[in-house]
Structure 1
Amino acid sequence: MNKQSNTYIVTYATILVVIVATVLSFAAIELQPMQQANVKTEKMGAILNAIGAGDGVAAAADKNSYVAGEFSKYITGAFFVDSTGRISEAPVEEVLASLNDLPAVFAARTAMPVFVATLSGSAKEYVVPVTGKGLWGPVWGYIALNEDCNTIEGAVFDHKSETPGLGAEIAAKPFQNQFIDKQIFNKEGLFVSIDLLKGKGSSAGNAYAVDAISGGTLTSNGVKAMLFTCLGDYEPFFRSVQTKADRSIVPVADTIATDTLATDSLTTVPTDTLTKGGAK
C-alpha cells in the first residue's frame, strides 16, 4: 500500500483511534470501582472531620480501610428527613449514596440525609450536609450539631474552583474552627443560621456569626446563603428533636441582637434567596 496515499492515512488514523479508544474505555471501566471507593472515602472522611474524629486519616497507610473502620466506629446511624421533619429509616450505605447529588436532594426536599454520630459515652451529634454556590463553582460541606440540634460541634467545607488564598480558604481549618460552639437558633428560639461578618474579629462575642474570608466576599456570601438555606431545610427536624428531648434552647451568653443580620454583615443575600425551600 502506498503510504503517501489518502487511503493509507485514513486507514492508519482510524485504526489508531479505535485502539486508543479501546484502551481508554477499558481503563475507565477497570478503574471505576476504585474511583467510586475513593469518592466514598472522601465523603466519609469529611464527616469524620466534622465530628472531630478524622485526625488519623492523613497518616493512614490504607486510607480507605482506615476511614471505613473509623466511620463504622463513630457513625452509629443514618436516615432521611423530609421538609416537614419526618424521618425515613434507611441503610447507611443508601444515605451515603445520596451525597453524590446534593443539589437534587435539596431541590426535592423529600429525603435529606442525616448521620448520627456517637462519641464518648452516649453523647450524640447529628451531621448534615450543605451545598451551594461560591464565586466560581459549587461549594459544600458538613455541619455537626450537638444533640440539642442548635450548637455546632464542627464544620467542614470544600469547593470545586474557588480562588487560592481567597475564597478557597473556606477549606482551611482556621476558618472552619470558627464555627465550633456557634448556635443556629437565637435566644428567642428563632432560626438565624450563621452569619459571616466583614473584618477580622468582627464576630467576637456573637454566638451566631463568624469572620468572613478576607478578600473572599462573594465566596463568603455563598457560604452564608448555603448555610441559611440548607440548615433551614432541616429546621423542622431540628425542632422535632428538641421537642422530643423536652429541651428548651439555651444559647450562650450574648448581648448582640440577632433577629436581623448585623449591619456590618457581608452583602445581604436577597430575601427570596434566603427563603427556606427556595432555589438551591
Structure 2
Amino acid sequence: MSEQHESVKRTVIVALALCIVCSVVVSAAAVLLKPLQVKNQKLDIRTSVLRTAGMLKPGESADEIEKDFARFQVKLVRLDTGDYVDPKSLGLKDAAAFDQRKAAKDPALSRALSGTEDIASIKREANIAKVYILHEDGKLKRVILPIHGYGLWSTLWGFIALKGDANTVAGLGFYQQAETPGLGGEVDNPKWKALWPGKKIYGDNVEDPLIHLVKGGVDPASPQVDHEVDALSGATLTSRGVTNLLQFWLGKEGFAPYLKKLRAGEV
C-alpha cells in the first residue's frame, strides 16, 4: 500500500513539474516573440496601406516596403471637426504610436454610438483616427483612411485609398476578416477589388457619401454608375455590411468633415 502511495505521489510531482516547466517555456516564448509579433503586425499594416494605395510592387522585400511606406505622413484627425491633432497633446511621441482600436474601447477617448448612428455595427467610435497622407511634387496624391464594420460573421478591418481630389477611389482592401470563404470572403478577391478604382464617393453633397454595392451587378446605364460597385455574389449580408461601413466612415460621423477641409485646403 505504501509503495502504491509513493508511486502516486511521484506521478503527481512529475506532472506538476512538467506543468511548471511548460508554463515557464510558454511564458518565455511569448515574451521573447512579442517584439517580433509587433514588428510583423506593423509590416502587415504598412503592406496593406501600400497595396490599397496601388503602390505595392510584386515581390517587395520588408526593407523595400518600409522605404515606400516612409513616403507617407502619418496624421491624427479629430473626426468631429476634421482638424489634425498634435500627438504630443495625447502624450504620444508621434502619430504612429496611436492605437485607434484601443482608443475606441476607452470612454475618455471615444463615444458610444446610438442605434441610428451605428450603421456599421461598431458600437463605439474613437474620437481620433489615424490617416496616411502622400504628397508628390507639392501635390496631394493619396489619402488612406482606416475603415471597419460588421459583415455577416465578423468585423472587417481595412483601408480605403482616395486620390488627390479626396473623392475618387484609388483602392479598397481588408486586412482582417472572417467572412465565409467563397462568398463574403471574396472581399479579398483581386478581381472584385479591381472594380473600385475610379469610383466616386460624393456627388454634389460632400457630407453624404453615395458609394454603395449593388445586388445583381451595376447597370452601366444607371445615373449612379460612378458611385456603384457590384455586390459580392451570394453574400448579401457581407455586401450590405461593406456598404454600411463605407457610408459610416465616409459620412458626417466619420471622415466627411476632414475630407471637406482637405479639399478646401483648410488642413
Aligned equivalents of 1:108, 1:115: Cα separation in 2: 19
Letter of the 2:76 counterpart: F
Q: Which runs of 5+ in 2 are unaligned?
A: 111-121
Q: Is the 8 A contact 2:76 2:86 kept in 1?
A: yes
Q: Does 1:241 align with 2:224?
A: no
1:27 corresponds to:
29
Q: Does 1:85 align with 2:86?
A: no
1:18 corresponds to:
20
Q: Is the 8 A contact 2:149 2:242 kept in 1?
A: yes
Aligned equivalents of 1:238, 1:67: Cα separation in 2: 27
Letter of the 1:85 counterpart: G
Letter of the 1:81 counterpart: R
Question: Could you tell me which of 113, 122, 134 is aligned with 2:151?
Answer: 134
Letter of the 2:17 counterpart: I
Say if 1:143 and 1:214 are closer, same or farther in 2 by CA, change over 3 A.
Answer: same
Say if 1:101 and 1:223 are closer, same or farther in 2 by CA, change over 3 A.
Answer: farther
TM-score by length of 2: 0.80
Could you list the per-position Cα deviations for residues 255-274 of structure 1 after superposition, in whole angstroms to 9, with x for gaps in the alignment?
xxxxxxxxxxxxxxxxxxxx
Could you list the per-position Cα deviations for residues 176-227 of structure 1 after superposition, in whole angstroms to 9, with x for gaps in the alignment?
2212111111135452242111113446751111001001111111111111
Aligned equivalents of 1:38, 1:29: Cα separation in 2: 15
Aligned equivalents of 1:92, 1:199: Cα separation in 2: 48
Aligned equivalents of 1:29, 1:116: Cα separation in 2: 34
Letter of the 2:36 counterpart: M
1:98 corresponds to:
99
Query: 1:100 Cα deviation (Å)?
Result: 5.0
Aligned equivalents of 1:76, 1:244: Cα separation in 2: 16
2:238 corresponds to:
219
TM-score by length of 1: 0.76
Letter of the 2:244 counterpart: A
2:73 corresponds to:
76
Q: Is the 8 A contact 1:203 1:211 kept in 2?
A: no
Letter of the 2:248 counterpart: T
Q: Is the 8 A contact 2:206 2:260 kept in 1?
A: no
Q: Is the 8 A contact 1:156 1:176 kept in 2?
A: yes
Secondary structure (helix, strand or coil) at the match of 1:199 reads coil
Q: Does 1:207 align with 2:221?
A: no
Query: 1:237 Cα deviation (Å)?
Result: 0.8
Q: Is the 8 A contact 2:184 2:239 kept in 1?
A: yes
Could you list the per-position Cα deviations for residues 11-44 of structure 1 after superposition, in whole angstroms to 9, with x for gaps in the alignment?
1110010011111111111111001100110001
Query: 1:98 Cα deviation (Å)?
Result: 2.2
Aligned equivalents of 1:12, 1:203: Cα separation in 2: 72
Q: Is the 8 A contact 2:74 2:95 kept in 1?
A: no
Could you list the per-position Cα deviations for residues 93-121 of structure 1 after superposition, in whole angstroms to 9, with x for gaps in the alignment?
53364255485468344211111013577
Query: 1:132 Cα deviation (Å)?
Result: 0.8
CA RMSD of aligned residues (A): 2.6
Q: Which runs of 5+ in 1 are unaligned?
A: 246-280
Aligned equivalents of 1:67, 1:109: Cα separation in 2: 28
